[in-house]
Structure 1
């Protein structure tokens, strides 16, 4: 019974945090994205990355794409997550340029169109990236992450529970998405740091 209550609590918290970020005006969203970009530029994990994945924001998610011009100037290869076809809630990462053909996936989110052969050749598994910028619904003072509930990043990054090459994981969010503590599940993949428009918290 206790786990049922925990699930209900988690769902309620997820709903509440999503409502908070969706309540932000377009002006507040733009300002938060610019401030996030300034914070990200100071991180050594970002400054040394040669291959990095961003994401296109939906439903009030903070926008990391403001970092794109700065990354391009530094000759960093930028990737976007794509739903893996015929796979249960897992992601590939596909190279992204200004001319990349895009298509909406089944959730209505824009992603590089894998029907183009060049796109398929430009895809990488997560372990081949240096740094992943990961969206989230909530985070806590220890850099634990609450995702959307679909498990896409947890499944795609499950290899990080085993030895081997692994990217740096950086969560990004609005400051209003921070809570004191979140429940941690065994399958959760830990982030190294969570960055918001007002600062960051590192995993201890």
Structure 2
């Protein structure tokens, strides 16, 4: 675990260090992590029938979600992936994803479903939202990529204290730091799952 507090690193420095750490994971380590996160998720979460789950496709060394997505599809749950909002460009929509869904690259060269408004699920109708992150600490504070997409998308969720979806962060074990420098708008996650652990605050 990297002690960010002792070394007085800024958010951008932590982001750079942790992104490098996860990029340096070998293909075998990534494959093992993907298998373990799949097991760990289902061990700790008893999903209702036909659950609606917001997920993401891994990028930049993020925890590989492909096995988890396959498992959810086999169990007949519905998977929704983030799509950058076509009008405001600062928030996310969540669109149904299946094996044959047409995909396109967004501005960050990340694959997302080709926009189809009839396949969009409102945030409050998702049962779970599994979120990527760059780093997290012992108190559940989350550091993202810096674009603020999830923060802006979830602003109303936090403001109105919505009960759905259940928010869960996904990360490699190497992405944990001792203490993150937080901003006034940061809201800690109540749950984070890594390949080896389940954190709940």
Q: TM-score of the superposition, structure 2-length normalised? A: 0.89
1:30 maps to 31
C-alpha distance in structure 2 between counterparts of 1:74 and 1:34, whole Å: 16
Measure how far apart 1:8 and its partner are: 6.8
Q: Does 1:174 align with 2:172?
A: yes
Aligned equivalents of 1:167 and 1:189: distance in 2? 15
- Superposed CA offset, 1:175-197 (max 9, x none): 00001121332322432211111
Distance 2:48 2:190 in 1: 15
Higher-helix-fraction structure: 1
Shift of the alpha carbon at 1:165?
4.3
**Which residue is equivalent to 1:59?**
60
Q: Secondary structure, in 3 states, of the residue corresponding to 2:10?
A: helix
Aligned mates of 2:55, 2:78 — CA distance in 1: 11
Q: Which residue does 1:156 correspond to in 2?
A: 153
Say which structure, 1 or 2, has more relative contact order (CA 8 Å, 6+ apart). 2
Figure out how many residues of one structure are paired with residues of the other and give that number: 192
* Structure 1 residue 98, shift from structure 2 partner: 0.9
- TM-score (normalised: structure 1): 0.88
1:47 deviates by: 2.4
Pairwise CA RMSD: 1.7
Structure 2 stretches of 5 or more lacking a match? 1-7
Counterparts of residues 1-204 of structure 1 (less than 5 Å): 9-44=10-45, 47-48=47-48, 50-114=51-115, 119-161=116-158, 162-203=160-201
Greater than 6 Å deviation, 4+ residue runs: none
Tell me how far apart the structure 1 counterparts of residues 178 and 9 of structure 2 sit (CA, whole Å): 18
